[in-house]
């Protein structure tokens, strides 16, 4: 009987290879960011949960890809440690996504009955 640790590692390595290294880094970073965000700031209802999940995943992948492109970190994709670092970067880029979307939606809800002029005035005062 094989030992559980090496069998599990072999299975994880096979799944990693089958899924694709870069895609695995993006998927794991985005998923972990969404889980952390949902646990830290629980959504109030099902609709907010859906918006939070989508915004976290999009900001993880989009922000991570933009950061990797801007800082020319493509060479990270050629090593396992580099892929882990990419996953961490993608994770970090996803965390502010949910917060920004939640703040924007709260701002909109507070001014639901206001005219566009009043909203524009409020935005100008904040900036």
Q: Which range (11-15, 66-70, 118-122) has the least confidence?
A: 11-15
Q: What is the model's pTM?
A: 0.64
Q: Mind listing the pLDDT tens digit for each residue in 45-72?
A: 888 888 888 888 889 889 999 999 999 9
Cα separations (Å) of 118 from 102, 103, 123?
A: 21, 18, 9
pLDDT for 70: 96
| CB distance 65 to 77 below 8 Å | no
Among 124, 93, 102, 121, smallest CA distance to 26 is for: 93
**Which of 9, 20, 25 is closest to 81 using CA atoms?**
25
Task: Specify whether the CB–CB gap between 23 and 65 falls below 8 A.
Answer: no
Q: Are 86 and 72 in contact (CB under 8 A)?
A: no
In whole angstroms, give the CA distance from residue 42 to residue 109: 18
How sure is the predictor about 80, in pLDDT bands with cuts at 50, 70 and 90?
A: confident
What are the residue ranges spanned by the domains of the chain?
20-126
Highest mean pLDDT among 42-46, 62-66, 104-108: 62-66
């Amino acid at each position: 009987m094989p030992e559980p640790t090496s069998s599990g590692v072999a299975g994880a390595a096979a799944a990693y290879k089958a899924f694709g290294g870069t895609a695995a880094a993006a998927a794991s970073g985005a998923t972990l960011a969404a889980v952390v965000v949902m646990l830290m700031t629980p959504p109030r209802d099902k609709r907010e949960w859906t918006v939070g999940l989508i915004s976290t995943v999009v900001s993880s992948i989009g922000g991570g890809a933009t950061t990797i492109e801007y800082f020319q970190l493509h060479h990270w994709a050629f090593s396992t440690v580099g892929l882990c670092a990419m996953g961490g970067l993608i994770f970090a880029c996803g965390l502010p996504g949910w917060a920004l979307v939640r703040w924007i939606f709260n701002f909109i809800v507070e001014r639901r009955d206001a005219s566009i002029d009043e909203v524009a005035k409020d935005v100008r005062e904040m900036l």
